[in-house]
């Protein structure tokens, strides 16, 4: 009897709670509604438990009242979601077949984890293919042959591939860096092969040119090329940019494709090529200039002209440069945030002997040939965009391979600080770990799916291609961040896609704020020309950010076909580059 009285007392409390919850459900705040919905579901579990303790009861109505309240809250949540995303989801459709999970996890969980994935994979949509290669149907109908130029750094892989490109009636060179695209653009034009330059920062169109040198993200998959060269193909495993290499290999329309890169990507490339039904031929390259490991630890106070000291952070690079400049040594400095024009000036200074030492991150590991006598590893760990980790053997060899230059240094030397000597030696001697996965990114075909917000499509895409183990999906955190920031503008999905693909790091708040200003100016206010960014100070970091602001002004204008002052862009970049170079010389 006491037990029944206790249960009745609890049920009375739950009835009182029900009245209060009914008032709270009328809110228009998504956060409050989600909290209320979770509370209602918890109360329902308590009600169900209490009712099960009673053999006979007239209190069954309380459970139905809570269920109606849960449905009311869920409909409110869906209404707010529909308003924000311009969708028309109805509660009955969303939870049908998932009623038990709905009671456990709530309507938003069912919508995102069950209903939308089912919608995207239903025969009605049938958008996402079963294999990444099938995202490029035109390429699958084409007879293509790949030439794999694989081997050690500084062995002429790209040189031989570029010679084939120059012989082609037309063609394209795809570079990992704007600086390499510029270098090969100039080289081809010097060799008498007219060539355009296309990067995220500029377009230089040469009259009568049939060849293109561009950064890999600028590849147009709708054009055909007689010959194509894809450089530094081992970057196909890069978690942030690797998808661009995968896209190029799977989708480029060319009968003759040359891939240049490290040997440890060979088996993956062959698997991808054969799955596409294409042919391949492999050419392996080896160093003509020997690479010699120095077992004596490098002493920072005893540098020799031609030394390149490798650190893996901008802070360390600048510290080392100050250390040597304070002792009378002239240094060239390279790190990721430096504009290409500044890198080029720094490279030139070292190549021409004006600088005695090169202080760099691993940016020198790709492509650019310099007269380096000795590579010195000042550190052995790097941040790869996700975590701080030890260098791989392939990365150590890629950087070390820059030592030695025919006609200048007939032997290349490699060493490190005392604490890194054993590590560097081990990585130079061990076999490289085989690259087993190509990174893939979301394909624009998902824009054809109606009724699902882009941010949800991307989240669903993350669960696609689960059973294809030699492909790995890229980290889309930056895409999701940008889409979340611009969500309230209610832009079309095509516009959202173009914005999230802009070659700018919007995790940097100054750049994000400028992006939001440009969205307001063009899409809200209807302006056909954007406000030019202004330089407010002249220290190193602000100059670097301002250079990126100029690039955003340029890229946003180009992508959305706005009027803009191209001469100002070139002048401003040049001005910032000169100021940066001046500061680097006087650290």
DSSP conformation letters of 289-334: S-EEE--SPP-TTS--TTEEEE-SSHHHHHHHHHHHHTTT--EEEE
Distance of CA 500 to the CA centre of its chain: 11
Instruction: Say if CB 245 and CB 438 are below 8 A apart.
Output: yes
Q: Report pLDDT for 127.
A: 65
Q: Report pLDDT for 259.
A: 98
pLDDT confidence band for 1 (50 / 70 / 90): very low
- What is the mean predicted confidence (pLDDT) over 97-110? 88
Q: Report pLDDT for 446.
A: 84
524, pLDDT greater than 90: yes
The 8-class DSSP code of residue 409 comes to B
The model carries a pTM of 0.80
Separation CA 169–CA 265 (nearest Å): 29
- What is the mean predicted confidence (pLDDT) over 163-170? 96
pLDDT confidence band for 133 (50 / 70 / 90): very high
Q: Where are the alpha helices (DSSP H) in 410-472?
A: 421-429, 454-461
Q: Report pLDDT for 19.
A: 67
- What is the mean predicted confidence (pLDDT) over 113-139? 77
Residue range 291-429 forms a domain whose CATH class is alpha beta
Residue 475, SS3? coil
* Domains 132-285 and 291-429 equal at CATH topology level: yes
Instruction: Say if CB 461 and CB 471 are below 8 A apart.
Output: no
pLDDT confidence band for 6 (50 / 70 / 90): low
pLDDT digits (tens, 9 = 90+) for 533-574: 999 888 889 999 999 999 999 999 999 999 999 999 999 999
pLDDT digits (tens, 9 = 90+) for 357-415: 999 988 777 767 789 999 999 999 888 777 889 999 989 998 998 898 877 888 999 99
Query: Which of 151, 181, 183 minimizes the C-alpha distance to 401?
Result: 151
pLDDT confidence band for 452 (50 / 70 / 90): confident
- What is the mean predicted confidence (pLDDT) over 468-488? 91
pLDDT confidence band for 124 (50 / 70 / 90): very low
Burial of 539 (0-12, 13-18, 19+ CB in 10 A): exposed
- What is the mean predicted confidence (pLDDT) over 573-587? 86
- What is the mean predicted confidence (pLDDT) over 108-127? 71
Separation CA 240–CA 473 (nearest Å): 10
Separation CA 262–CA 367 (nearest Å): 12
Percent of residues, the chain, with pLDDT higher than 90: 56
Instruction: Say if CB 94 and CB 81 are below 8 A apart.
Output: no
Q: Report pLDDT for 558.
A: 95
Residue ranges per structural domain of the chain: 2-120, 132-285, 291-429, 450-585
Instruction: Say if CB 478 and CB 243 are below 8 A apart.
Output: no
Separation CA 498–CA 496 (nearest Å): 5
Distance of CA 143 to the CA centre of its chain: 30
Q: Report pLDDT for 187.
A: 94
266, pLDDT greater than 70: yes
Q: Report pLDDT for 364.
A: 78
Separation CA 532–CA 164 (nearest Å): 42
Q: What's the mean pLDDT when you consider all of the chain?
A: 88
Q: Report pLDDT for 201.
A: 85
Written as one string, the DSSP assignment of 99-160 is HHHHHHH-HHHHIIIIIHHHHHTSTTT--S-SSGGGG-HHHHTS--EEEEEEESTTSSHHHH
Structural domain 132-285, CATH architecture? 3-Layer(aba) Sandwich (3.40)
Query: Which of 491, 482, 536, 535 minimizes the C-alpha distance to 509?
Result: 482
């Amino acid at each position: 009897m006491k037990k029944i009285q206790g249960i009745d007392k609890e049920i009375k409390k739950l009835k009182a709670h029900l009245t209060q919850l009914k008032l709270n459900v009328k809110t228009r705040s998504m956060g409050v509604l989600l909290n209320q919905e979770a509370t209602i579901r918890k109360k329902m579990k308590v009600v169900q438990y209490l009712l099960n303790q009673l053999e006979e009861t007239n209190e069954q109505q309380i459970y139905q009242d809570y269920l109606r309240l849960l449905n009311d809250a869920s409909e409110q949540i869906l209404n707010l979601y529909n308003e924000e995303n311009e969708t028309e989801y109805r509660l009955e459709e969303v939870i049908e077949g998932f009623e038990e999970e709905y009671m456990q996890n709530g309507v938003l969980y069912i919508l995102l984890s069950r209903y939308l994935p089912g919608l995207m994979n239903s025969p009605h949509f049938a958008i996402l293919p079963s294999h990444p290669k099938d995202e490029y149907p035109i390429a699958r109908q084409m007879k293509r042959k790949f030439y794999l130029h694989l081997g050690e750094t500084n062995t002429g892989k790209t040189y031989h591939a570029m010679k084939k490109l120059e012989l082609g009636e037309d063609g394209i060179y795809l570079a990992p860096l704007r600086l390499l695209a510029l270098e090969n653009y100039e080289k081809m034009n010097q060799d008498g092969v007219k060539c355009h330059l296309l990067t995220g920062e500029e377009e230089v169109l040469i009259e009568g040119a049939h060849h293109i040198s561009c950064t890999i993200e600028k590849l147009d998959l709708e054009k055909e090329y007689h010959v194509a060269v894809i450089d530094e193909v081992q970057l196909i495993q890069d978690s942030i940019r690797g998808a661009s290499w995968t896209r190029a290999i799977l989708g480029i329309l060319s009968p003759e494709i040359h891939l240049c890169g490290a040997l440890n990507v060979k088996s993956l490339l062959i698997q991808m090529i054969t799955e596409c039904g294409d042919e391949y031929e492999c050419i392996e390259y080896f160093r003509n200039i020997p690479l010699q490991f120095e077992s004596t630890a490098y002493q920072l106070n005893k540098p020799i002209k031609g030394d390149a000291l490798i650190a893996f952070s901008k802070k360390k690079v600048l510290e080392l440069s100050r250390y040597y400049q304070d002792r009378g040594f002239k240094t060239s400095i390279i790190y990721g945030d430096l504009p290409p024009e500044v890198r080029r000036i720094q490279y030139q200074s070292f190549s021409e002997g004006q600088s005695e030492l090169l202080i760099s991150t691993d940016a020198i590991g790709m492509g650019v040939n310099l007269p380096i006598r000795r590579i010195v590893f000042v550190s052995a760990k790097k941040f790869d965009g996700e975590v701080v980790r030890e260098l791989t053997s392939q990365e150590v060899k890629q950087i070390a391979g820059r030592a030695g230059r025919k006609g200048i240094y007939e032997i290349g030397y490699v060493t490190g600080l005392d604490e890194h000597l054993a590590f560097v030696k081990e990585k130079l001697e061990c076999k490289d770990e085989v690259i087993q996965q190509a990174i893939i990114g979301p394909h624009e075909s998902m824009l054809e799916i109606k009724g699902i917000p882009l941010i949800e499509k991307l989240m669903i895409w993350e669960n696609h291609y689960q059973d294809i183990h030699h492909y790995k999906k890229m980290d889309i955190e930056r895409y999701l961040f940008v889409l979340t920031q611009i969500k309230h503008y209610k832009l079309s999905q095509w516009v959202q896609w173009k914005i999230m693909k802009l070659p700018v790091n919007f995790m940097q708040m100054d750049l994000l704020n400028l992006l939001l200003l440009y969205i307001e100016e063009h899409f809200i206010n209807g302006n056909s020309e954007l406000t030019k960014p202004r330089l407010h100070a002249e220290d190193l970091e602000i100059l670097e950010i301002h250079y990126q602001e100029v690039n955003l002004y340029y890229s946003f204008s180009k992508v959305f076909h706005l009027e803009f002052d191209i001469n100002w862009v070139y002048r401003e970049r040049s001005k910032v580059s000169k100021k940066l170079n001046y500061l680097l010389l006087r650290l």
